[in-house]
Amino acid sequence: MEVMQVLHMNTGEGETSYAKNSIVQSKIISVATSIIHEAVEECLEKNFSDSMGIADLGCSSGPNTLMVISDIIDTIYATINQKGILLPEFRVSLNDLPGNDFNNVFISLPEFYNQLKTEKNIGPEGCFISGVPGSFYGRLFPKKSLHFVHSSSSLHWLSQVPRPLDSNIMPLNKGKIYISKSSPRSVFDAYLSQFKRDFSLFLKSRSAEMVVGGHMVLSFMGRVSADPSSEESCMQWELLAQALMSMALEGLIEEEKIDSFNAPYYAPSAQEVKSVVQEESSFTINCLEAIEIEWDGGAPGNNHFEKYNNKIENYNLSRGQQVAKTIRAVVESMLEVHFGREPMDELFKRYAEMVGDYFSRTTAKYIDLVISLTKKG
């Protein structure tokens, strides 16, 4: 699978679009806000410049795209005002893979510029925003051009399916699409090795692009358990595999198609992340936190539903439908290339029911890892 070509969030603003189904990602950005603020303030202490390079890697599209950039500029504005010095100009780079809906991003820029002008008197000559398509597993920017780098809900995506799994020989992970309790050890090892290669390359690339003392805040799906097959990191994929297998049993899709699909995704443990950072050695870790996020992002619509409907099974189904929408907005592009367009509606209908049933039995939460880093001298 050519991940660069098929991985992108659902485009546009329709019912299955990422723009309308990114509440979990918004929640993740919100809970990391204090860490971002602290990192920005420290960056200004060490690296104040009259022209600051800021990059958001894996920016996607929709309402979350400019949320972090706005927050970073707000923090810089407040800090600079306290010191009574002139604002720097902002060089803002929004990066994602080429299939990203950059048109949606660019359409929102005039309103963003107007807001900057109205609230902070920052005109177009004070903030230059550009789109940078390409994989962040490699160089994207000139040397020493960035002061602050942010990435949210992106680094759990690998540059490719681990090679041992992406072959036409006997499938290693039969009936599954990601790590599972039934997966052989070779599957665990393949995913971990790919993550280590990718994350190390990410750090090496950013090290070349950032100034000494520059700061970076990254948040991505992970786990606190040492077990890579723990429910906290795998269950959303396990349920999706079960939905696919139920369709295969009815002849709606080919079982061989399931055996040959493996998600280019890995949810690392905090220790695995720390180990790669230390081995690559370009950055100092300021903090590394694990934060719990509800599968549906604690969507307010769910509380409203519960208030007016006392049937708990309907409430769980509603939450299941919400989760299915958020997952569909993220992974449908890959699934559609592999399985075709026709099965998608039925697949996510079944997935919603399975997630609803899972909610009836347990509390479902993701683990989001947030790490703040400083570029070494």
- Taking residues 8-24, report their average pLDDT: 61
Buried b / exposed e over 199-231, threshold 16 CB at 10 Å, is bbbbbebbbebbbeebbbbbbbbbbeeeebbbb
Nearest to residue 61, comparing CAs of 105, 5, 12, 92?
A: 105
pLDDT in tens, 319-343: 888 888 888 888 888 888 888 889 9
Question: What's the pTM?
Answer: 0.88
* Most confident of the ranges 3-12, 39-48, 185-194, 305-314: 185-194
Contacts of 154 (CB under 8 A, 6+ apart): 57, 58, 136, 220
| Residue 261 to residue 289: CA distance in whole angstroms | 32
Kindly state the helix (H) or strand (E) to which residue 212 belongs, with its residue range. strand 210-222
Domains of the chain: 3-375 (3.40.50.150)
Q: How many residues does the chain have?
A: 377
Q: How confident is the model at residue 22 (pLDDT cuts 50, 70, 90)?
A: low
Q: Quick check: 123 pLDDT over 90? A: no
| Mean per-residue pLDDT, 87-102 | 90
13: tokens are 């603003």
Q: What is the pLDDT of residue 10?
A: 56
Give tens-digit pLDDT for 127-152.
999 999 999 999 999 999 999 999 99
How far apart (Å, rounded) are the C-alpha atoms in residues 63 and 105?
A: 9
Report the range out of 12-16, 336-340, 366-370 with the highest average pLDDT: 366-370
The mean-pLDDT minimum among 190-204, 267-281, 351-365 falls in 351-365
pLDDT at residue 139 in the model: 96
pLDDT tens for residues 166-214?
766 778 888 898 999 989 999 999 999 999 999 999 999 999 999 999 9
Report long-range pairs for 309-314 (Cβ below 8 Å, ≥24 apart). 312/360, 313/356, 313/360
Q: What is the pLDDT of residue 92?
A: 95
pLDDT digits (tens, 9 = 90+) for 253-270: 999 899 988 999 999 999
